[in-house]
Amino acid sequence: MAYQLSAALMGLAATVVSAQEQQSGPFALHVKGTNPNSTIDGYGGSCHAGAAISGLCYSVLSDTTDLPNTFQYWFNYTGFQQVGDAEVGTLTWNQPYTDGEGNPASVSQAMGLVYQTTSNVAAPLFGFSQEVFLIGFDSEKELFGYSYIDDAKFVAGQQPPTAPKASYQWAVCWQYFTGYFYQSVAWIQAGAPHNPTCEPVEITQVNL
């Protein structure tokens, strides 16, 4: 019986692991300002924000052929979670490092959000945190953030209904990462951004 149970659990674990493994990419992330006069028109790229931690920086590129690894992203999804027809998953990139034998290697890292205590502007960061930000790409290939609870609709004492939702609250802002100050992609949690350097943007997947 104990054997059957652990075999069943292993079967379940194997299902979960293989379900995690669906991946599309690589692609680039086109970042474009949505204000009528915005001059923001560039790409998202990984930038150093600590040991094996990267932000999602904004860069203007004159040439988008042969984009380096820092501009290449993937979409990892399980196939178990959707908003409408769009899969929900994580945005990943391959963080390069040098392995124990001195050879170049890379490790896949998923994007999470880092929150500031006194701001509504959160910074996407790639690192080893288990806290990932669930995202997806809609039918127009536009990047959305996923949520399933809306606390603006809470009623005291009543269990709220879940409502899977795609939101587009991206901005490009000057953001501070423990010593580094970068113009980079941000997620505005609600309302107008607290950081006055933020400009709203849309982010679109561009196949490489």
Rule CB under 6 A: say whether 18 interacts with ligand NAG: no
Smallest CA-to-CA distance from 147 within 161, 160, 170, 163 is with 163
Output 130 or 158, the one with its CB closest to ligand NAG: 130
Rule CB under 6 A: say whether 46 interacts with ligand NAG: no
Binding test (CB under 6 A) with ligand NAG, winner from 40, 56, 86, 110: 110
Binding test (CB under 6 A) with ligand NAG, winner from 46, 92, 95, 175: 92
Q: 188 pairs with which residues across the strands?
A: 121
Rule CB under 6 A: say whether 37 interacts with ligand NAG: yes
Output 37 or 98, the one with its CB closest to ligand NAG: 37
CA torsion angle for 82, 85, 86, 88 (degrees, to 10)?
Answer: 10
Token reading at 113: 């959000």
| Alpha carbons 184 and 26: distance in angstroms, whole number | 20
Q: How far is the CB of 200 from ligand NAG (least distance, A)?
A: 13
Handedness of CA 128, 93, 185, 147 (dihedral sign): negative
**Which of the stretches 39-47, 107-115, 164-172, 192-200 binds ligand NAG when contact is defined by CB under 6 A?**
107-115
Rule CB under 6 A: say whether 108 interacts with ligand NAG: yes
182: left (phi over 0), alpha (psi -120 to 50) or beta: beta
Rule CB under 6 A: say whether 23 interacts with ligand NAG: yes
Rule CB under 6 A: say whether 76 interacts with ligand NAG: yes
Rule CB under 6 A: say whether 21 interacts with ligand NAG: yes
Rule CB under 6 A: say whether 36 interacts with ligand NAG: yes
Handedness of CA 193, 194, 198, 199 (dihedral sign): positive
Rule CB under 6 A: say whether 62 interacts with ligand NAG: no
Phi, psi of 60 (to 5 degrees): -95, 125
Reduced to 3 states (helix: H, G, I; strand: E, B; else coil), residue 2 is helix
Q: How far is the CB of 110 from ligand NAG (least distance, A)?
A: 4
Which residues of the chain form contacts with ligand NAG (CB under 6 A)? Answer: 21, 23, 36-37, 76, 92, 108-110
